[in-house]
C-alpha cells in the first residue's frame, strides 16, 4: 500500500512535469520582457497578496541585490509594492483595499516601466486594478498566475500555471521566478 507521503510526492512530480511542459516557453518570454525593461533603464514594480506578497519582496531583492552568488552585475531597479505598511494601511483606510497597488502605480509608474503581478488565483481585485492602472500609465503588464485567469488574459506576457491548488501554483511560481532571476543575472553579467 502506498503511503500518504509517497502519493503526495508522486502527485507533485506529475504537477511539475505538466508545469514544465506547458510553461517553459512562457518563462523564457517573461525573462526576456523583464530584461528589455531593465535594458531601457526602466523599473519593475511587483505586487501580490499573502504568500505572493512575500514572493514579490523576495523577487525584488534578487534584482536589486543578485540571485547568483558570486556573479557580478549591476543592481537592477525593482520595487515590491507590498513592503510599506504605512502606504498600504493609509490607502486601505483612506480609500479602499482594492486600491493599495494601483495608487502606488499612479505615483511611481512611468511609461516603459513594467508591473509584475504574482497571483495564484489571477482574480484578486487589487491586482486587477493594478493591471488596469499600469495600462493607463503605458507600462508593460506581466503576470505569474493561474492559467486562464483574468490576470493571465490581461497581461502582455504571462506564465499561467495549469493547476488549481494554491500551494502547487505557488511552488511553480517559485521555480519560475528563480529561473527568471537567474536568466536576468546572466543577461547583465559584467556588462561594463
pLDDT 10s digits, 148-173: 999 999 999 999 999 999 999 999 99
| CB within 8 Å of 48: residues ≥ 6 apart | 55, 56, 82, 117, 118, 119, 127
Cell numbers standing for residue 152 = 493571465
5-20 pLDDT, tens digit each: 888 888 888 878 888 8
158 falls within a domain: yes
Residue 8 is predicted with a pLDDT of 82
CATH number at residue 48: 3.40.50.10490
Per-residue pLDDT, 1: 59
Domain span at residue 70 reads 30-187
Q: What percent of the chain lies above the pLDDT cut of 90?
A: 82
Asked if residue 4 is part of any domain, the answer here is no
Q: What is the domain count for the chain?
A: 1
Answer for the pair 131, 152: CB distance below 8 angstroms, yes or no: no
Q: What is the pTM of this model?
A: 0.93
36 has a pLDDT exceeding 80: yes
In a domain, 73, yes or no: yes
Average pLDDT, the chain: 94
Amino acid at each position: 500500500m502506498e503511503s500518504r507521503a509517497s502519493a503526495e510526492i508522486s502527485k507533485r512530480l506529475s504537477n511539475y512535469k505538466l508545469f514544465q511542459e506547458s510553461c517553459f516557453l512562457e518563462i523564457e518570454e517573461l525573462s526576456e520582457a523583464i530584461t528589455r525593461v531593465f535594458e531601457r533603464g526602466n523599473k519593475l514594480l511587483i505586487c501580490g497578496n499573502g504568500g505572493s506578497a512575500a514572493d514579490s519582496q523576495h523577487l525584488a531583492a534578487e534584482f536589486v541585490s543578485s540571485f547568483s552568488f558570486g556573479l557580478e552585475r549591476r543592481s537592477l531597479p525593482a520595487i515590491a509594492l507590498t513592503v510599506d505598511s504605512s502606504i498600504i494601511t493609509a490607502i486601505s483606510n483612506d480609500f479602499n483595499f482594492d486600491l493599495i497597488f494601483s495608487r502606488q502605480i499612479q505615483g511611481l509608474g512611468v511609461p516603459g516601466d513594467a508591473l509584475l503581478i504574482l497571483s495564484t488565483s489571477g482574480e484578486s481585485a487589487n491586482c486587477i486594478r493594478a493591471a488596469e492602472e499600469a495600462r493607463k500609465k503605458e507600462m508593460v503588464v506581466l503576470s505569474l498566475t493561474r492559467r486562464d485567469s483574468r490576470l493571465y488574459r490581461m497581461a502582455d506576457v504571462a506564465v499561467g500555471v495549469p493547476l488549481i491548488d494554491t500551494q502547487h501554483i505557488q511552488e511553480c511560481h517559485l521555480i519560475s521566478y528563480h529561473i527568471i532571476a537567474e536568466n536576468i543575472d546572466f543577461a547583465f553579467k559584467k556588462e561594463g
